């Protein structure tokens, strides 16, 4: 069965001996099927909210800087940005080596460096050496770049609810069973079947523990410098 929203919903329906959905009626079904869809999404949300740094949510971003532009917006799909990861990529054409950027606070930036945004003197530009997290979901480069350097950094994706029948979860397919066990827990709760709900909950929690043992980096020095960029959105979590 395909690893997409309809496939997951039909996995649950199959376990409960319910009629499975088709791509034709998936969007229009109501009642019980609406709850099964929500149960699948609830299981996915639960997994995604357990940890922000699941390996499947990790992204490495490359951005070409513009001379004289010091502020860059966060990616719209970023939940957590690794502030330790910012570096200028080596570029033989521009004549620069790899340069890791040191993070400074926004307060220090305002005190010492904010004048760069208003200074028309281009001689103060250069290869960025510091990075600042601004409250406006932007990061700021210090000094302002004088060339089109390549900036590389890493972040973790927001989660999202599945909606269309062919939407695919961020969670890799080998862990499909974890999503299904979670969805079964929610469905059995809906059916007031406490015994089966408890059994499904145990399987679900064991599956999450296994995921955590495989996919989470526990080194504190890595975790400490990562910064959450959002609260809960309408679809992101």
pLDDT at res. 52: 85
Q: What is the greatest pairwise CA distance in the chain?
A: 72
Mean pLDDT of the chain: 92
Do 62 and 151 meet the contact criterion of CB atoms below 8 Å apart? yes
Residue 229 pLDDT class (50, 70, 90 cuts): low
pLDDT at res. 1: 82
Model-level pTM? 0.83
Q: Where are the alpha helices (DSSP H) in 51-159?
A: 106-112
Residues 169-214: tens digit of each pLDDT: 999 999 999 999 999 999 999 999 999 999 999 999 999 999 999 9
The vertex-33 CA angle with 32 and 37, nearest 5°, equals 120
Quick check: 221 pLDDT over 80? no
Residues 11-59: tens digit of each pLDDT: 999 999 999 999 999 999 999 999 999 999 999 999 999 998 999 999 9
């Amino acid at each position: 069965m395909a690893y997409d929203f309809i496939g997951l919903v039909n996995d649950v329906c199959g376990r409960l001996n319910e009629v499975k959905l088709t791509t034709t009626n998936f969007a229009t079904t109501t009642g019980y099927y609406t709850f099964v869809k929500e149960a699948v999404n609830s299981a996915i949300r639960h997994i995604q909210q357990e940890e922000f740094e699941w390996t499947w949510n990790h992204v490495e971003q490359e951005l070409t800087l513009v001379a004289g532009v010091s502020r860059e917006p966060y990616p719209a799909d970023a939940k957590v940005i690794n502030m330790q990861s910012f570096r200028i990529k080596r570029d033989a054409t521009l004549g620069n080596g790899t340069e890791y950027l040191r993070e400074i606070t926004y307060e220090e930036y305002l005190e010492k460096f904010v004048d760069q945004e208003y200074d028309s003197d281009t001689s103060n530009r250069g290869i960025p050496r510091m990075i600042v997290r601004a409250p406006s979901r932007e990061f700021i480069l210090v000094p302002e770049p004088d060339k089109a350097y390549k900036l590389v950094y890493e972040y973790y994706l927001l989660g999202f609810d599945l909606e269309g029948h062919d939407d695919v979860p961020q969670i890799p397919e080998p862990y499909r069973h974890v999503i299904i066990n979670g969805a079964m827990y929610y469905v059995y709760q809906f059916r007031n079947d406490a015994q089966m709900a408890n059994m499904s909950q145990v399987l679900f929690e064991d599956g999450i523990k296994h995921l955590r043992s495989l996919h989470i980096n526990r080194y504190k020095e890595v975790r400490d410098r990562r910064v959450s960029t959002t609260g809960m959105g309408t679809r992101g979590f």
